[in-house]
Structure formats: C-alpha cells, structure tokens
Amino acid sequence: MEFIQNNLDIIYFVIFCIFIGIEVIANVPAILHTPLMSGANAISGVIMVGAVIMMFQVPPTNYITLTVGGIAVFLGALNISGGFFVTGRMLKMFNTKK
Amino acid sequence: MEFIQNNLDIIYFVIFCIFIGIEVIANVPAILHTPLMSGANAISGVIMVGAVIMMFQVPPTNYITLTVGGIAVFLGALNISGGFFVTGRMLKMFNTKK
Amino acid sequence: MNVLVEVGYLLATVSFLGGLKFMSSPKHAKIGNLIAATGMIVAVLCTFWMLTTQTVPSINLIIIAVAILLGTIGGKIMASKVEMTAMPQLVSLFNATGGGCAMLLGIVEAKQASLGSSFLGMQILLLLGLITGAVAASGSVIAYRKLAGKTKDNRNIMVVLGSRTLLLSFILIPVLYFIGIIPLPFEIVAYIMAFIALVYGVLFVLPIGGADMPVVISLLNSITGIATALAGFVYGNKAMIAGGIFVGAAGILLTLLMCRAMNRSLLKVLAGKFKKGKVAEDAEEQNIKETTVSETAMQLSFANKIAIIPGYGLAVAQGQHLCGQLQQLLEKRDAQVDFIIHPVAGRMPGHMNVLLAEANIDYEHLKEMDQVNDDMGHYDMVLIIGANDVVNPAAENNPDSPIYGMPIVKAYQSKQTVVMKRGMSKGYAGVPNDLFGMDNCNLLFGDAKDSLQEIINQLKLI
Amino acid sequence: MNVLVEVGYLLATVSFLGGLKFMSSPKHAKIGNLIAATGMIVAVLCTFWMLTTQTVPSINLIIIAVAILLGTIGGKIMASKVEMTAMPQLVSLFNATGGGCAMLLGIVEAKQASLGSSFLGMQILLLLGLITGAVAASGSVIAYRKLAGKTKDNRNIMVVLGSRTLLLSFILIPVLYFIGIIPLPFEIVAYIMAFIALVYGVLFVLPIGGADMPVVISLLNSITGIATALAGFVYGNKAMIAGGIFVGAAGILLTLLMCRAMNRSLLKVLAGKFKKGKVAEDAEEQNIKETTVSETAMQLSFANKIAIIPGYGLAVAQGQHLCGQLQQLLEKRDAQVDFIIHPVAGRMPGHMNVLLAEANIDYEHLKEMDQVNDDMGHYDMVLIIGANDVVNPAAENNPDSPIYGMPIVKAYQSKQTVVMKRGMSKGYAGVPNDLFGMDNCNLLFGDAKDSLQEIINQLKLI
Ligand SMILES: NC(=O)c1ccc[n+]([C@@H]2O[C@H](COP(=O)([O-])OP(=O)(O)OC[C@H]3O[C@@H](n4cnc5c(N)ncnc54)[C@H](OP(=O)(O)O)[C@@H]3O)[C@@H](O)[C@H]2O)c1
Ligand SMILES: NC(=O)c1ccc[n+]([C@@H]2O[C@H](COP(=O)([O-])OP(=O)(O)OC[C@H]3O[C@@H](n4cnc5c(N)ncnc54)[C@H](OP(=O)(O)O)[C@@H]3O)[C@@H](O)[C@H]2O)c1
C-alpha cells in the first residue's frame, strides 16, 4: 500500500507505456514485421544510457569494473548503431508504391 | 524551467494521455462516430467528481455557494447517467452480425 | 490522500482508456460502454471514500446525495424516452450539462480562490476551465436547439464579428487583470469571463449549418473534456485529468474523422460554408425519365436480386418500417433484398443503421458500401430511397465537385435504378446529380413514405 | 538532476513513441526509423550533459568515448555489409549485444550494491534485469547460429528438462537468498544467476525450429526491452523505462502477430512442435501432371496476363534476378507480368519483398495477396516458383489441416498453373498440397534457378 502511494506516478507511467507499446503496433501489416522487430531492437539499445551512467560512477582505479563497464557500453553502442542502420537498410528495400 | 522540473511527471502524464486519446480511436469506422461521441461525452462527466470534491469544502452556512455547487453536482450526474445510458441504447441498435 | 482513493482513480483511468478503446470497435462497443461506466462508478465511489479521512458537514453531504440521485434518475429517464432519431440532440444536451458543471465549479472555486491567496497558475487554470466549460455549455444548447429545429442558422455579419471580438477579449481581459490594470477582485473577473464565454458559445455555433451539428457536438464535447482536465489539475486529480484529456484528444480526432467521412474541412464547417466547386449550380439540363408506382412495382416483382439504398429522405419521411414490409413482401416472392448502407447517409454517422435497426431488419441483409460496391452489377434492380449525395457519381468523376473524393455507393453501375424523391431538390451538399440523367435510371417522384406504401399495395395485387 | 537532461529524456521518450508509431505504417516506416534514431541520439547526448553537474574521472570518460565510437562504427559496418537474406541473423546478433549490455550492467551494479547498503527492492530489480538480459543475450546468439545454419535443432528430452529445472531455480535461488538461507554476498548470487540465465537462454532456444527464429527473435527482443526498463527503474531514468516498456509490450504483441500470420500458436512454436492435423502425412495418391521447360516457355509466350508467385524455394535457389529477367523478356513481348506476394512467403515476414526489391523489380508489378485474390481468374497463366504452403488450398477447405485458416494466394482459381519445385517435398508446414493434383496445374521439376534459366533461353528462341 505504502509502495503504491509512493510510486503512483510511476505506476501510471508504466501502465500507459504498456498500453501505448501494444496499441502503436496493433495494426501493423505482416510485411513490416521484420523491420519493426529490428527497429524495436534498436530502441531497446537505450540500455546503453544506463551503462554510461554506471560508468560515470565507477572508481577510476577499479580496472576490472571499468573494463566490464566499457564492454557494456560498447555492446550497447553496437546495438544502437547496428540496429538503426540495419532497419534503415531494410526499409529502403520496402519502398512503397507511389 | 523550474516549472518543468517540478511537474515532469505530470508532463509525461499529459503527453501520454493525449497520445492515447488520439491513438485509441484512430481507426474507428464512421458508423460508430455517433455512439463514440456520446460515450466520450459520458466520460467527460467525470467533472462531477470535481464538483463533489468542491462541495466537501464549502462552508455549510454559505447557502448560495451550496446551491450553485449542488447544481453543478446535479448537472454532472445528469451528464454521466444520461451519457452512458443513451450510448448504451444507441449501441444496442448497432448490433453486429454474428 | 488516502491510498485506496488513489488506487480507485487509477482503476477509473484505466477503464476510461479501455472503454474508449473498445468503443471504437463495432464488435466490442457495448462492452466498452460498460467498462467506462464502471470506471465512472469507481471514480465516484472512491471520491466518497475520502470522507474516511475528512469531515464534511452533513448538509453538504445531503445536497450532494440528492443532486446525484436526481441527476442519475433524470439522465436515465431522458435517455430512455428519447426517440432514436433525436439522439444527437440529446447528446448535445448532456454535453451542455457537463460544460455547465465545469463552469459552475470554476465559479465557486474562483470565489474561494479570491478569499485565499492562491497563486497565479491556479487562477489561470480556473479561468481556462471556466471559459471552456461555459463555451461548451452554451454552444451545446444552441446545437441542441438547431437539431431540434428550434433555432435557425444565422450567418449575419454581426454574429461573426461579435464572436471574433469576444475571442479577443478572452485573452485581453485576463492579461489586463493579471498585470494589474483591471482593479477588480478575481471573483468578479471570473464572473465576467463566464458571461462572455457563454455568449461566445452561442455566437460560435449560430452560423454553422444545422446538418453539421454532429461535427460541432463532437468538437464541443472535446472542449468539455479539456475543461474537465483543467479542473483535474486544480484538484490534482489524475482520473479527471486523464479522462478529460482522453476525451479532449479523442474528440478532436473524431471531429476531423467526421469531417473526412463527409469530405469536408473543419474550417469550412465552422464557417458554415460549403466548398464551392466550379460546377454551375444547375449546369446542364438533364434528360430525366420519370417512372410510375405501378411500373416500379412490376419491375420489382420480376427482379431476383434487389438492393435498397436508403438516405436522409427516408429518415425525413419516416419510411423505415415500410421498407421492412417491402423487404418481407419481396422475400416471400423469393427475391433477395439487400440494404446498402453508406456510413454518412442521413444526418448523423450511422443514422441509417439506427433507422433500419428500428424497423427490425435482419443484420445479414445490411451490407456495407465496401462489401458490395464491386458487385453492383449483380443486382437486377436498385431502389434509392431519399438518398442523393451518397450515390452521386460526381464524387468519382468530377474533380471540381465539392463532394469529389467522398466514397459513394456505386448505384450507377447497376442494371436498373429507381430513385424515389419528392422533386429535383439537391442533397445536403447542394450539387446536381448526374445519376438521375443516366440511361439506367428512372425517377419516382413523391414522398418516400407515400410511394413506398403505394408500391407495397400494388405488389400485393400482382 | 539537471532540467535540460530531463527535458532531453522527455524528448527521447516521445520520439521512441512516435518512431514506433510511424514504423508500423508502410508509408512512414523510414521516417519512423529516423525519428527513433534521433531520439536515441538525444538520449545519449543529454546523458553526457549530466557532466555539467558531476565530475567523472577522465579515464572513465575516455573508455566510454572509445567504446561508443567502436560500437557505432562496428554496427554501421556490420549493417552495411550484411546480405539482405541474412538480415534476421544480424538483428538477432544485435539483440544479443543489447541483452549482453543489460547483463553486464547488472553485474557491475550488483557489485556496487553489495558494497553499499541498497534496499531489497533495488536488489530484486537488479537480479531481474540481469536475468532477462542474460537470457536475451545467449538466446539470441543461439537464434543467430540457427539462422546461419551453425546450430541444429535439438529437441532432446534433456534439453527440455534442463530448461525447466533452470526456470525453477530462477525463483528458488533468489527466494532462498532473500530469506537468508543462502549465506553468500549479493554479488556472488548475482554472478550465479547470470550464469544460470545464460545457460537457460541456450536451452530455451535450442528445441525451436530454425524457421521459427523470426518469432523467437521478436520474443527475445521483447525480453531485452524488459531488461532495459528494469535498468531504467534502477537509475530512475524515464527514457529507459519508457523505451524498454514500449519495446517489451510491442515485442510481445509483434510475436503474437507473427504467429498469427503463419497461423501457429506461440506455445507450439516455443515447444518446437507443429500442430498435428488429422491428415495422414501422405494421405492420397495425387494425380500429378509433369510438364517440361519447353512447354512452359511456349505457354508463357502465348499468355497476355501472367502472375508469378514466389516462395521460399526461390530464395533458396537465389533465382530472384532471373525472375526479373523473365519479366522483362515477357514484357517486351507485350505481356503483363505481376508478382503476387504473400506476406509470410519465405522464412521471414516480407522476405519476398526484400528479395524482389533486390532484383530491381518495379513496385507497380508487386501485388499484395488481397489486391488480386478476387481476380485470379483473369490471369492466363500463373507461375508458382518455390512456393508451397502459401498456395495450398487446404488452408481454405480442410478444417483439419494445420494451416487451415491461413490466408493464401488463390492460385487454384487461375486458368493454368505451373509449379516449379525440385521434387514432391512438402513445404514448411509439412502438409500435402492438393493444388498439385488439380486439373489446371502442372509441375515443372528442377531447381528454380536452373529451370528459370532454361525457360529464359527457350523464350529467346521462340
Ligand atoms: N451522416 C452524417 O453524419 C452526416 C452529417 C452531416 C451531413 N451529412 C451529409 O448528408 C448527406 C447525406 O446524403 P444522403 O444521400 O443521405 O442525403 P442527401 O444527399 O441530403 O439527399 C437527400 C434527398 O432526399 C430527398 N428527400 C427529402 N425528403 C424526402 C421525402 N420526404 N421523401 C422522399 N425524398 C425526400 C431530397 O430530395 P427532394 O427534396 O427532391 O425529395 C434529397 O435529395 C451527405 O452529403 C453527407 O455528407 C451527413
Ligand atoms: N515469412 C515468414 O515470416 C515465415 C517465418 C517462418 C515460417 N514461415 C512459413 O514458411 C512457409 C512459407 O511458404 P512458402 O510457400 O514460401 O514456402 P514452403 O511452403 O516452405 O515451400 C517451399 C517449397 O519450395 C521448394 N524448393 C525448395 N528449394 C527449392 C529450389 N532450390 N528450387 C525450387 N524449389 C525449391 C520446396 O519443394 P522441393 O523441396 O520439392 O523443391 C518447397 O515445397 C509458410 O508455411 C510460413 O508459415 C514463414
């Protein structure tokens, strides 16, 4: 109960996000499934933002953590860049009729 | 700026609500326009909740305000009840084919 | 605030959302209405739950209870008694009550705000809520009166100028007040604004064509939604904010969708104008062929597949029940009779569906335009009853016509067409109809109800 | 936190939302991708804007910068080099990196959390984020390997049992830890969970059929989204929460939509099973008629309207360019050649569109199934190249067939059909195809590419 009280805003936020996520692609035609999947994949790359924030906090002497964190950022960047580029390339193929 | 800072949650809330409101009825067929209009009208009757909250705060000796507030509540209730009932009646007419 | 109250409002918000979603699909619309209504009950109940942590004088509570009771009963009665064809009027009236509630709420709160030292933002919110509420209220009343035929269109230049002036004062007065030039108490400013807004609502709706009222009601409804959301901000009430914004946003889109379904622009609707095409009003002499009741009855008796396309004229003539009789009669003779329903036939969306449902016509015989438009040639005979614009081929082949681009029922492709109308009057869009001059088309003049009755009488004899 | 940072995240959230919305409409998909990418750049930039209020050691900054640079370049190169047909593999690989990022982030934060005294909720969030990230990472790698043909399906009972056991331990270990029975530091528990999750990801994907990988990738992608949202909660970062949940929710729906487009249930897909119909595998002997290349070429040379229905076999044979040549040749002879594209022809949605686009075939000749299905009789000749399930009439007339209910291209209604395939093998769904035995159908055996080449050669001679 107290939890709900304190997190009411975030609860609304989550519910709305879920609804929007579902609603937004409810009517997508099958032909766009592959590029949409790929685009969604690119968006989930926003996890990199988390990795960067984490790296801000790592003590500069902790080399192991720095390395692991660096890899995390690298993977995130790969996901974002690759994701959007590959989606773009796919969509270029899907030109619609004029 | 400070305003944004303090009201960030509500800004997200409002944007999401607008988006949802638009998104939800983006594909409605013309035949449902009238009942949908009526249903939306009923929902906006939630203003009555505001009138009730207001009435909670009116000093019991202020007869004019009590009367005006009472009318507000009455109008709100009329909107809600009439709105949902009339929508229901309309929709009964719109039975879809089995 | 109490947690349970908050959770209740959360539930209400979600059910408004779900309700609207379901209401926009023909299959689930009824459930959607129920969901939204349940959410509303939850919202109201949890407002009363606040009483567990707050003491309210019993006189207030009694007034609230009585008001709710009367309102609920009144709404139920009005909704049950109204005739199907008067639906839009009633919706408009209900919208007026919602707007009125928002306005009164604003007025009372303005008084309180005058007493306390409420801050600028709150005062702006209150004024906005009050203005939108008042506009929605008085505008809806005029829309109601127009639909009920009690007020006529008024495109007087004074009305237009007046409404523009008032629009200006909506900005001017509050600005002058807030920078301190108007030395009145906030309360009084609020009253003035409410009054101006009420007048503006009237002037806003006056010039708009009576038949465009469904569009206007949708717009006013959206404004009520905004008023609700503004009040929600004042009370920090999420259910009010969400419900209000949902309705506001959905209402604006719905308004645009309605305009699109009629192939009109919202601006033109609001200005009370029609798109002027290059078509001269009565351009060409048409070679029309009149037919008679007995000939039509004869043709019907020979046809195997018949389509009936109903329009506004059928609604005016109240001929829906005769349509049903005609269908039964023909089906007994082993003919198949379909009704082809154009989404904006008549004067409100879905008008014809409601009409034919009232006459108990089977759903399997109600066809949507898109379902049959490719096969119009399969019908031996097409009967157009009081419809005009929705079968006008100009929408397809005349780019200059004001209705160009509107989807139509392709009656012109059928083997044989009989159009039942009283004279050569134009339809709602005011454009001539080439269909009437086509080879496969005959006109049967007369009131739709009378003609239908006579056809039925004759058919019984054959 | 800095206001500008917050506003930036708000913008990013809105553009993720808008991007997804646009991406789901064929006309605006490209813009949608751009919008979402812009939002991502905004999100990253405003994260760095935090540096204005926070000092970070320069070594950390250098590592971050290098990592981002390498990642961006690497992603760009991989995306540019990949062959069109290998797209799904690559998407899967990228998803693995996203999952990996989430997992590593969880591991590092778990270490920090072990040091500080972070509260229960945070620990649960971290564990959940770590598990989901790890499952998505290893699962996606296996999906990638399957699509690339490097790993085979494995429906071994050990795999299934193993994955169930691990699923159990996801609940058990944390619960035991939190009630204090496992006396290890949180850090270690996190490592163990990450390890288990990685193994689980592998076992989860192993039994699933290779051709179902697009569905699985979509599912894993949705899991990455959830991992992102969980990490977002840890940092209180709205853009991460919103982006993650959007992807999570959209991904789940997309997964279901994909299954529906293939007329399969998600559970069956995950179990690696096919719906078993009552149809015996090779029920009836079909009366098939073989035809020859020269006969087919002759028929083509006489036809005026020709339809080509491409399927998985054409992709395997890499015959798309020959298809283009054939079309040009026939058009020079004044025939009209349409390609009819079934949405799930091939092995990923839109596979055939990509394939034919690669061969530079004009968009006006690409027809969607629904556009032409009612007029199949208008084609003088239909050429089915390496397609099977998508033209199987059993989907329409055999309620017991596993593909019953899937929309198909109604090739069986055409005047004359030639099916090009290598032998009598079944399609992906493993069901016999009645079309092959029909009167209007002839089979031309042979690899699609070879047969096409020969037809073209012959046609040039005629
Ligand atoms: N549905 C909506 O939501 C909505 C809302 C606003 C506007 N509109 C517009 O309304 C129009 C609807 O088209 P429609 O084809 O249904 O109607 P219409 O184009 O307005 O034509 C109605 C026809 O019915 C005839 N009529 C009138 N009273 C009659 C009677 N008692 N007996 C027989 N005939 C009678 C009239 O000709 P006579 O006078 O010669 O008999 C007239 O030509 C469209 O332009 C649409 O855009 C629709
Ligand atoms: N698009 C998607 O997203 C997706 C994803 C997963 C699954 N699926 C499923 O995949 C199926 C797609 O249907 P489809 O009709 O495209 O393909 P299909 O039903 O799988 O049939 C392909 C046919 O091509 C023939 N073939 C294979 N290699 C060939 C070659 N080199 N030359 C000529 N023919 C060759 C095969 O017969 P022979 O061996 O006798 O030549 C086979 O019968 C559907 O069942 C769909 O549900 C689609």
Strand-pair partners of D383: D308, D418
B/e letters for C213-243, b = 16+ CB within 10 Å, e = fewer, are: bbbbbbbbbbbbbbbbbbbbbbbebbbbbbb
Q: How many CB atoms lie within 10 A of CB C405?
A: 11
Q: How far apart are CA A80 and CA D36, in angstroms?
A: 10
Q: Which of C20, C224, C239 has the CB atom closest to B24's CB atom?
A: C20
pTM: 0.86
Smallest CA-to-CA distance from D191 within D99, D103, D100 is with D103
CA-CA distance, C100 to C69, in Å (whole number)? Answer: 18
- CA distance, residue C7 to nearest chain A CA (Å): 8
Is pLDDT of B98 > 60?
A: no
DSSP 8-state secondary structure symbol assigned to residue C421: E
CA torsion sign for C45, C50, C52, C55 is: negative
Residues of C in contact with B25 (CB under 8 A): 20, 23-24, 250, 253-254, 257
Mean pLDDT for all residues in chain C: 89
Name every chain D residue with its beta carbon within 8 A of the beta carbon of A88. 30, 33-34, 37, 79
Q: Ligand 1 pocket, C428 CB below 6 A?
A: yes
CA nearest D161: which of D115, D223, D207? Answer: D207
CA D198 to chain CA mean position, Å: 21
| ipTM of this predicted structure | 0.85
Best of D13, D101, D237, D364 to disrupt the A interface by mutation (most A CBs within 10 Å)? D101
Beta bridge partners of C419: C384, C443
What number does the ligand 1 atom closest to the CA of C214 have?
Answer: 5
SS3 for D420? strand
Q: Which residues of C359-392 are buried (b: 16+ CB within 10 A; e: fewer)?
A: bebeeebbbbbeebbeebeebbbbbbbbbbbbbb
> Across the interface, do B4 and D3 touch by the CB < 8 Å criterion?
yes
C258 CA closest ligand 1 atom index: 3
CA distances (Å), C115 to each of C131, D52, D97, in order? Answer: 21, 44, 61
Q: Tokens representing C444?
A: 């049967």
Nearest CA to ligand 2 atom 47: D262
HSE-CB at D314 with a 13 A cutoff on CA atoms is 31
Closest C-alpha to C44, from B45, B41, A8, A16: B45
C347 contacts: CB under 8 Å, gap ≥ 6: C88, C211, C214, C312, C315, C428
Closest ligand to D347 CA?
2
- When the pLDDT of each residue in chain B is averaged and rounded to a whole number, the result is 90
3-class SS of residue C420? strand
* Interatomic CA distance for residues C174 and D179, integer angstroms: 62
Determine phi and psi for C446, rounding to 5 degrees: 135, 160
D130/D230 Cα distance (integer angstroms): 9
Does C389 contact ligand 1 (Cβ within 6 A)?
A: yes
Query: Over the stretch C67-95, which tens digit does the pLDDT of each residue have?
Result: 999 999 999 999 999 887 788 889 999 99
Tell me the CA distances in angstroms from D306 to D323, D333, D381, D414, one per residue in order.
Answer: 12, 12, 5, 10
Ligand that lies nearest to the alpha carbon of residue D452, given by its number in the listed order: 2
For residue D305, list its beta bridge partners. Answer: D336
Active-site residue (options: C212, C338, C380, C389): C389
The atom number, within ligand 1, closest to the CA of C389 reads 19
Give residues with Cβ within 8 angstroms of D102, minimum separation 6: A47, A50, D129, D130, D132, D133, D136, D137, D224, D227, D228, D230, D231
Partners of D10 on chain B (C-beta within 8 Å) are: 8, 11-12, 15
Give the count of Cβ contacts less than 8 A between chain A and C: 18
Find the C313 Cα to ligand 1 centroid distance in Å: 5
CB spacing of A4 vs C6 below 8 angstroms: yes
Say how many Å lie between the CA of residue D315 and the centre of ligand 2.
9
CB contact residues (below 8 A), chain C span 230-259, against chain A: 238
**Following DSSP, what letter does each residue of D389-418 receive, concatenated?**
GGG-THHHH-TTSTTTT-----GGGSS-EE
What ranges in C116-237 are assigned the alpha helix state H?
120-147, 157-178, 186-205, 213-235
Catalytic residue list contains C389: yes
User: Which candidate from B28, B51, B95 shows the least CB-CB separation from C101?
Assistant: B51
Confidence of residue C277 (pLDDT cuts 50, 70, 90): very low
Nearest CA-CA distance, residue A14 and chain B, Å: 11
Q: With 90 as the cut, is the pLDDT of residue C223 above it?
A: yes
Contact C448, C385 (CB under 8 A): yes
Top residue of B19, B24, B25 to mutate, by most chain A CBs within 10 Å, is B19
Chain A hits for B20, Cβ within 8 Å: 16, 19-20, 23
**Distance from Cα D90 to the centre of ligand 2, integer Å:** 21
CB C92 within 8 A of CB B86: no
Task: Identify the pLDDT of residue B95.
Answer: 63
**By C-alpha distance, which of C377, C366, C325 is closest to C342?**
C366
**H helices, E strands: number in chain C:** 17, 6
* Minimum CA–CA partner of C362 in chain B: B97
Q: Which residue has the tokens 């308004």?
A: C255
Residues 6+ apart with CB under 8 A from D116: none
CB B42 within 8 A of CB B84: yes
As given in the structure block, the two tokens for residue D390 are 């998508």
Contact D54 A60 (CB under 8 A): no
C-chain residues near A5 (CB < 8 A):
3, 6
- Looking at the DSSP bridge assignments, the partners of residue C441 are C417
Give the separation between CA A72 and CA D351, rounded to whole angstroms.
32
CA dist., res. C85 & res. D144, Å (int): 61
Helix axes A47-57, D213-235, angle to 10 degrees: 40
C360-376 pLDDT, tens per residue? 888 788 888 888 888 88
- Average pLDDT rounded to a whole number, residues C30-57: 94
The rounded distance, in Å, linking the Cα atoms of A58 and D109 is 10
Q: pLDDT averaged over chain A?
A: 90
Q: Are D13 and B12 inside 8 Å of each other by CB? A: yes
d(CA D8, CA C351): 48
Sheet (strand D381-385) strand order: D366-368, D336-341, D305-310, D381-385, D417-421, D441-445
Residue B68 CA, distance from chain mean position: 20
Q: Is residue C333 predicted with pLDDT exceeding 80?
A: yes
Q: Cα separation of C222 and C258, whole Å? A: 13
- Give the C window 145-174 contacts with B, CB below 8 Å: none
The pLDDT of residue A1 is: 67
Cβ contact A32–D26 (<8 Å): yes
First-to-last alpha carbon distance for chain D, in angstroms, is 77
Ligand 1, atom nearest to C345 Cα:
16
What size, in residues, is chain A?
98
Phi and psi (nearest 5°) for C336? -100, 125
**Cβ proximity of C407 and C395 under 8 Å:** yes
Could you tell me if A42 and A87 are in contact, meaning their C-beta atoms sit under 8 angstroms apart?
yes
Q: Is C211 in the pocket of ligand 1 (CB under 6 A)?
A: yes
Q: Is C390 in the pocket of ligand 1 (CB under 6 A)?
A: yes
D342-359 in b/e burial notation, b at 16+ Cβ within 10 A? bbbbbbbbbbbbbbbbee
**Which of B41, B57, B58, B84 best tests the C interface by mutation, with the highest count of C CBs <10 A?**
B41
CA-based end-to-end distance of chain B: 56
Instruction: Give C300 Cα–ligand 1 centroid separation in angstroms.
Output: 24
The 10 Å Cβ neighbour count of residue D152 is: 9
> Which ranges of C236-319 would DSSP assign to H, the alpha helix?
238-261, 266-270, 293-302, 312-317
| Ligand 2, atom 29, residue with closest C-alpha | D313
pLDDT tens by residue, chain D, 462 residues = 588 899 999 999 999 999 999 998 888 999 999 999 999 999 999 999 999 888 999 999 999 999 999 999 999 999 999 887 788 889 999 999 999 999 999 999 988 876 655 678 888 999 999 999 999 999 999 999 988 888 887 778 888 888 888 989 988 998 898 888 888 888 899 999 999 999 999 999 998 887 788 899 999 999 999 999 999 999 999 999 999 999 999 999 999 998 888 888 888 888 776 544 444 445 456 788 999 999 999 999 999 999 999 999 998 898 999 999 999 999 998 999 999 999 888 878 888 888 888 788 887 888 888 888 888 888 999 999 999 999 999 888 888 887 888 889 999 998 899 999 998 888 888 888 989 989 899 999 999 999 999 999 999 888
Q: What is the pLDDT of residue C265?
A: 85
Specify the pLDDT at position C278: 44
Taking only the tens of pLDDT, chain A with its 98 residues reads 677 777 888 999 999 999 999 999 888 888 888 899 999 999 999 999 999 999 999 999 999 999 999 999 999 999 999 999 999 998 887 765 43
* Gap between the Cα atoms of D96 and D141, Å rounded: 6
Ligand 2 atom having least distance to the Cα of D346: 16
Please say whether the beta carbons of D456 and D322 come within 8 A. Answer: yes
| Beta partners for residue B33, in sequence order | none
Query: With 50 as the cut, is the pLDDT of residue C280 above it?
Result: no
Range with the lowest mean pLDDT among C57-66, C396-405, C449-458, D433-442? C396-405
Report the distance separating Cα D453 and Cα A56, nearest Å. 61
Using a pLDDT cut of 70, give the percent of chain C over it: 96
CB contact under 8 A, A12 and C21: no
Chain C: residue nearest A13 by CA?
Answer: C10
From the CA of C94, how far away is ligand 2's center (Å)?
59
> Measured between alpha carbons, how far is residue A63 from residues A68, A70, D111 in Å?
9, 10, 14
> Which chain A positions have a beta carbon within 8 Å of C3's beta carbon?
1-2, 4-5
The string of pLDDT tens digits covering residues C388-438 is: 999 999 888 888 887 888 889 999 998 899 999 998 888 888 888 989 989
pLDDT score of C180 = 84
Q: Which two tokens stand for residue D195?
A: 């390890």
In whole angstroms, give the CA distance from residue C234 to residue C106. 10
